[in-house]
Amino acid sequence: ILSSLLLLFSSSCINPTKKTKIMTEESAKTELGGVKGLVDSDITEVPPSFHYPSSTISNNRPSDISGLNLTVPIVDLGEINNNERNVVVSKIKDAAEKWGFFQVINHGVPLSVLEEIKQGVRKFHEEDPEVKNNYAPTATDFNKRFVYNQNFDLNHSSPMNWRDSFICFLAPDPPNPDEIPVACRDAIMNYWKHVMDFGTFLFQLLSEALGLDSEILKNMDCLKGLFMACHYYPPCPQPDLTLGISKHTDNSFFTLLLQDQIGGLQVLHQDYWVDVTPVPGALVINIGDFMQLITNDKFLSVEHRVRANIDGPRISIACFFSSGVFPNSTVYGPIKELLCDENPAKYKDITIPEYTEGYLASGFDGKTHLSKYRV
């Protein structure tokens, strides 16, 4: 599956010798520097290859939102230190069941570490194109641990998305530091260790929120795989015409996101697009498809997207707890302890690499891949 993922990236590179069908003369300019290169060329209009239908971009929010709870939950993990663990677990349970999204504060990851990784990601994306392209994927090298691509979902997302990205595979086999660009090397090697520690803690809380032993999700190898996707969203001259990332769900157990203060992330809740308003120092948690499957729909994986913005660049770092891109023969299905006559299994058993391969093949179409595995 790792090779399939890299092949997806390599086939979707903006390659001057192999243009895809949706490429235009304007969007081909990105081949030298991604979307950032396009913006640096002083464009004043978004090229047609990035245009989305207005109905797709619309917020679809009512003029009167009184009586509607359209605020993404915020959970203060610091309450655990005040002997309020049960209160925190209850809040996480409520958010995972009703929203599939929540923000956490007082999570224990130092603010200096958060700033360091944001600066490192920005520094790499603002390197010369020649430097960044040294990390572009190829069709023959499937062992890369760090992969840069201007728009890795190009072949699977028509229109294109207004962002540049790189990914870094971190677990179960950590990368050699020399495989990571100098611009972000120290930041990534430092950040991912904090992410693993926090992930271990959050999986305990999620296990308890299910009413199960605190180690059950860890013992199911939910912590086994980790990779990060680091996005750079340049300022967009016409943000009402395109998207930073089109709507989708994540093929993870959960995703941990760090975003800067510019904003743009939205979650679909009660058929409305709700802003995930940046909170200084907070981390955003969203439930992934795998978690919805093993919890038998108790926790929800919901669609989300990123709007383009006239301000920028916007930086975000998404860490996916998922073993789907690594060899893994473990068969997953709804957790037996959650099932009963009144709550039978809603999903077939499946290996995560099998699920991931289908997910990658379907691309960002905004429709969860989960429905294919319902009983």
How does strand 146-149 pair with strand 283-287?
Answer: unpaired
Token code pair at residue 162: 């207004």
Environment class of 116 (CB within 10 Å of its CB; exposed 0-12, middle 13-18, buried 19+): middle
CATH code, domain with 368: 2.60.120.330
The CA angle 98-364-16, to the nearest 5 degrees, is 150
Residue 15, pLDDT score: 36
Residue-number span of the structural domain to which 316 is assigned: 48-57+69-124+154-373
Token code pair at residue 96: 């995972």
In a domain, 258, yes or no: yes
Q: In this structure, are residues 236 and 162 in contact, taking their beta carbons and an 8 Å threshold?
A: yes
In a domain, 29, yes or no: no
Q: Which helix (H) or strand (E) holds 30?
A: none
In a domain, 34, yes or no: no
What span, in angstroms and rounded, lies between the C-alpha atoms of 199 and 254? 9
What span, in angstroms and rounded, lies between the C-alpha atoms of 110 and 210? 28
| Domains identified in the chain, total number | 1
Residue 367, pLDDT score: 58
Residue 156, pLDDT score: 52
In a domain, 255, yes or no: yes
Residue 154, pLDDT score: 46
For residue 370, give the nearest of 156, 325, 155, 358 by alpha carbon.
358
Q: In this structure, are residues 332 and 349 in contact, taking their beta carbons and an 8 Å threshold?
A: yes
Environment class of 231 (CB within 10 Å of its CB; exposed 0-12, middle 13-18, buried 19+): buried
In a domain, 273, yes or no: yes
Peptide bond preceding 172: is omega within 30 degrees of 0, i.e. cis?
Answer: yes
Residue 36: CB atoms within 10 Å: 22
In a domain, 13, yes or no: no
Residue 148, pLDDT score: 93
In a domain, 100, yes or no: yes
Decide: helix, strand or coil at residue 318.
strand
Residue 65, pLDDT score: 60
For residue 195, give the nearest of 153, 237, 149, 227 by alpha carbon.
227
What span, in angstroms and rounded, lies between the C-alpha atoms of 363 and 90? 34
pTM of the model: 0.90
In a domain, 20, yes or no: no
Residue 344: CB atoms within 10 Å: 10
What span, in angstroms and rounded, lies between the C-alpha atoms of 184 and 121? 6
Residue 87, pLDDT score: 97
Q: What share of the chain is helix, strand, coil (3-state, %, to 5)?
A: 35, 20, 45
Q: Which residues contact 179 (CB under 8 A, 6 or more apart)?
A: 144, 145, 146
Q: pLDDT of the chain along its 375 residues, tens only?
A: 444 444 444 434 333 333 333 334 444 444 558 999 999 999 999 999 999 999 899 876 655 565 677 899 999 999 998 889 999 999 999 999 999 999 999 999 999 999 999 999 999 999 999 999 999 887 666 678 999 986 555 445 578 999 999 999 999 988 999 999 999 999 999 999 999 999 999 999 999 999 999 999 999 999 989 999 999 999 999 999 999 999 999 989 999 999 999 999 999 999 999 999 999 999 999 999 999 999 999 999 999 999 999 999 999 999 999 875 666 778 999 999 999 999 999 999 998 888 888 877 776 655 567 888 999
